[in-house]
Homo-oligomer: A and B are copies of this chain.
Amino acid sequence: MPVLTTDPGPAPAAAEPPDIPDAGERHRLTAVTGLAALSLDAMASVAYGPEAIVLVLAAAGAHGLGFTMPVTLAIAALLAVLVASYRQVIAAFPDGGGSYAVAKTHLGARTSLVAAASLVLDYVLNVAVAVTAGVAALTSAFPSLYDDRLWLCLAVLALITGVNLRGIVESAKAFIVPTVVFVGSIFVLIAVGLFRDGPVSTVTAGGHASVLSDNATTVGALLLLKAFASGCAALTGVEAIANAVPSFRVPRAKRAQRAEVALGAVLGLMLIGLSVLIGRFHLQPVDGVTVLAQLADASLGHNWAFYVIQFATMVLLALSANTSFGGLPVLLKLLARDNYAPHVFALKADRQVHRHGVLALAAVSALLLVFSGGDTNTLVPLFAIGVFVGFTIAQVGMVRHWLLERGRGWRGKALLNGFGALLTGVATVVVTLEKFTEGAWLIVIALPLLVVAFETVHRAYVRIGERLGLGRIPETPHRERSLVIVPVSSLSRLTSEALTAASSLGDEVRAVTVCHPDPEDRAALHALERSWAEWDPGVTLVRLTSERRSLGRPLAAYVREVAAAEPGTRVTVLIPETEPERFWQRLLQNQRGGVVAYAVRRETDAVICRLRFRLP
């Protein structure tokens, strides 16, 4: 068989498919631009990570707060382990995909689905957490807005959703400036704070109720573990670079690894720096003002610099929320290709699908916002669970990787990853148990449900594929006798056009009209039959009578009858409709076409043809 090549578009098509020159290489990321473009989420998480630690330790009073530094150091150590681990993930999985890819290779399909489900939850929770944290930065600067924080959250979400519905041009460069401003101001905050002996201002915290516990409990291992687990929320986003290796310039893996290490270094320094200041300024968590806002106040004073930090934080968090709208579709596409999610997610061309996805993500995030009342600290533990499930799976997978590979120094590497897996695994369990009644049950229910949904979809696709004979050569098509049925209600150019089309498509054509037993309908039928006889188009006019006021069902019944009476005949129903000139004139159409098409599709196997007739 000849294979024709036709190029309908204005752009020249590549002549030979396999070797296309990659024109996009210079648009790809270097280590520096990659760090800026992909570290957004991780950097933004210092806005709520340290706060999560402080809030837990506050249960043990001022004494408890003294443990902020050790806990932060433990988290920084975990960060180092994670960065080292993801460096290896990058090398082992240069096609990206992160924990889903690692699990698929080393831990089997089901574990990879758990990783995928946790990623889906992360994307959703990231929106909610980033939005609430961003609004918290805003209300820390303008306390009068505090009571309206839920409405502010929903407004910010609506804004992000609107932008994404319109479709944004995704550009790594657009993210560089806010990330640099934010990271830069945090480092300035830390540096200035290190030269002060005490807070230069406590304006923001004044007048707010302290959440410091009066009857300070002793600082037990469980409390520290809990503080550690909560604080690990600061590590969210560390996996982003490993997920996006293909976006880097060659040598992709090397550049990605460099970006990953830089990310770890910057994030670790920020976390440790902030925790030093927390200790130095004897900071106590208060309601309605973020820890970061208090630190900015204490270090830089309640002046323009304070507002710059709050504003930069808010912008970065809003952008961080925005990344979910870009990331979730990519993950769903991967799942769709593996037949775990509806294939429509892999259909890149469909704008409508994208819109549905954006709206669905916005709706679920809005629910989470309402559920949490716009409070970051309710959402952070839920967020952490999903992230940690992913971390744990990725590291367990890496342990298997080293066990299988047994390269140079594999014992040390496996030990490192195993230690990381243990830490993140324990953290997952602790956070889930501690926060179970406060919302973690949501994750405990949603995660397995998602996995079951993926597997159900997969089974259905496998069954459909088998029944369709996918991958096998099907039987050769053959020609059948063709009968075309045309529903008719009056005589016009449209009828003539429909019969012309039907005659071209069918060996036999029948026009069919449905009549109800009321005088008006009967008069119309007689008029039609008279004009039909006068016209004499060479096509039989079949009259169907129906007692019930129905159009589609008698027609469908007739089609079934004909199909049963003449096996081997391909029955087609051709529905003619006028194409309105203007949009509003769609309202003028009588919808008979839709009614007939619906009934025929539901009740018969006939092919449905719709002829749109443009008015001359």
> CB distance A591 to B353 under 8 Å?
yes
9-residue interface stretch from A36-44, A210-218, A225-233, A496-504: A496-504
Q: Which residue of B lies closest to A486 (CB)?
A: B477
Name which residue of chain B comes closest to A509, CB basis.
Answer: B477
Q: How far is the CA of A463 from the CA of B533 in the complex (A)?
A: 26
Q: Which of A9, A353, A480, A589 has the most CB of B within 10 A?
A: A9
Flag whether A542 is at the interface (Cβ < 8 A).
Answer: yes
- Answer whether residue A405 sits at the interface, using C-beta atoms and an 8 A cutoff: no
A473 pairs with B542, CB closer than 8 A = no
* Known contacts A534-B473, A547-B11; A478/B503 CB under 8 A: yes
B4 touches A536 (CB 8 A): no
The answer to the question of A247 belonging to the interface, with a C-beta cut-off of 8 Å to chain B, is no
Q: Is the interface of A mostly helix, strand, loop or mixed?
A: mixed
The listed residue (B496, B541, B585) touching A3 by CB distance below 8 A is B541
- The answer to whether B505 and A477 have CB atoms under 8 Å apart is no
**Residues of B close to A578: CB separation below 8 A:** 464, 468
A221 at the interface (CB under 8 A from B): no
CA distance A608 to B611 in the complex (A): 7
Interface string of A477-498 (1 = CB under 8 A from B): 1111110000000111111111
- B477–A500 contact, CB under 8 A? yes
**A595 at the B interface (CB under 8 A):** yes
Task: Assess the B537–A585 pair: CB atoms within 8 A.
Answer: no
Establish whether residues B517 and A20, one from each chain, have CB atoms under 8 Å apart when the complex forms. yes
A1-44: CB near B (< 8 Å → 1, else 0) gives: 11111111101111001101000000000000000000000000
Stretch at the interface among A251-259, A322-330, A369-377, A521-529: A521-529
Q: Is A616 an interface residue (CB 8 A)?
A: yes
Cβ distance A93 to chain B, nearest Cβ, rounded Å? 18
A207 within 8 A of B: no
- With both chains docked as a complex, state the minimum distance between the C-beta of A31 and any C-beta of chain B, in angstroms: 25
Among B353, B468, B614, contact of A492 (Cβ-Cβ < 8 Å): B468
State whether the Cβ of A64 lies closer than 8 Å to any Cβ in chain B: no
Docked-complex contact B474 and A491, CB < 8 angstroms: yes
Say yes or no: is A592 at the interface (Cβ < 8 Å to chain B). yes
Q: Mark A539-550, 1 if CB is under 8 A from B, else 0.
A: 111111111111
B-chain residues with CB within 8 Å of residue A570 when the two chains form the complex: 500-501, 504-505
Least CB separation from A13: chain B residue: B545
| Bound Cα distance from A498 to B543, whole angstroms | 31
Q: Are B478 and A545 in contact (CB under 8 A)?
A: no
- Asked if A106 is at the interface (CB within 8 A of a chain B CB), the reply is no
When distances are taken between beta carbons in the complex, the residues of chain B under 8 Å from A353 are 591
List the B side residues contacting A474 at CB < 8 Å.
491-493, 495-496, 535
Q: Are A350 and B591 in contact (CB under 8 A)?
A: yes
Contact among B467, B493, B543, B591 with A5 in the assembled complex (CB-CB below 8 Å): B543
Q: How far is the CA of A523 from the CA of B475 in the complex (A)?
A: 24
A552 B349 Cβ-Cβ under 8 A? yes
Q: Does A506 contact B (CB under 8 A)?
A: yes
Which B-chain residue is minimally distant from A601 (CB atoms)? B612
Tell me, yes or no, whether A169 is within 8 Å of chain B by CB: no
How many chain A residues sit at the interface, stated as a range, is 35 or more
Q: Are A477 and B607 interface neighbours, CB within 8 A?
A: no
A445 on the B face (CB < 8 A):
no
Give, as a whole number of angstroms, the nearest-CB distance from A526 to chain B.
7
- Chain B: which residue is nearest A525 at the CB level? B17
User: Is the beta-carbon distance between A3 and B347 smaller than 8 angstroms?
Assistant: no
A1–B532 CB distance below 8 A: yes
CB of A564 within 8 Å of the partner chain = no
Within 8 Å CB of A8, what residues of B? 544, 546, 553-554, 557-558, 561
Count the copies. 2
Q: How far is the CB of A194 from chain B (nearest CB, A)?
A: 51
Contact call B519/A18, Cβ cutoff below 8 A: yes
Cross-interface CB contact of A496 among B477, B480, B535, cutoff 8 Å:
B477
Minimal beta-carbon separation of A469 from chain B (angstroms): 5
Q: How far is the CA of A590 from the CA of B346 in the complex (A)?
A: 8
Q: How far apart sit A56 and B537, CA to CA, in the bound complex (Å)?
A: 70
Asked whether A605 is an interface residue with its Cβ less than 8 Å from the other chain, the reply is yes
Q: Do the beta carbons of B503 and A477 come within 8 Å of each other?
A: yes
Q: How far is the CB of A390 from chain B (nearest CB, A)?
A: 25
Q: How far, in whole Å, are A561 and B8 apart by their CA atoms in the complex?
A: 9
Does chain B have a CB within 8 A of A615?
yes
A341-358 contact mask (Cβ, 8 Å, vs B): 1 or 0: 011101111100100000
When distances are taken between beta carbons in the complex, the residues of chain B under 8 Å from A350 are 551, 591, 595
Chain B neighbourhood of A18, CB < 8 A: 519, 522-523, 526
| A492 contact set on B, CB distance < 8 A | 465, 468-470, 474
A294 to chain B, nearest CB (A): 44
How near does chain B come to A413, taking the closest CB pair, in angstroms? 32
Query: Is the CB of A406 closer than 8 A to any CB of chain B?
Result: no
Judge if A168 is at the interface, Cβ distance under 8 Å: no
Tell yes or no: A538 within 8 A of B by CB: yes
Q: Please name all residues of chain B whose beta carbon is closer than 8 Å to the beta carbon of A611 when the two chains form the complex.
A: 607
Contacts of A290 in B (CB 8 A): none
Which chain B positions have C-beta within 8 A of A187?
Answer: none
Q: Which of B11, B534, B554, B614 contacts A605 (CB 8 A)?
A: B614
Residues in B neighbouring A342, C-beta threshold 8 A: 587-590
Looking at A6, A531, A537, the one whose CB has the most chain B CB atoms below 10 A away is A6
Supply 23 A–B pairs (Cβ within 8 Å), ascending by A: A1-B537, A1-B541, A2-B540, A3-B542, A9-B553, A9-B557, A348-B516, A349-B552, A457-B588, A460-B585, A461-B588, A471-B491, A473-B535, A474-B492, A474-B493, A475-B496, A477-B500, A477-B502, A478-B500, A479-B503, A480-B504, A482-B504, A500-B570
Sample of 4 further A-B pairs with CB below 8 A, known A3-B543, A17-B517: A8-B561, A347-B551, A350-B591, A474-B496
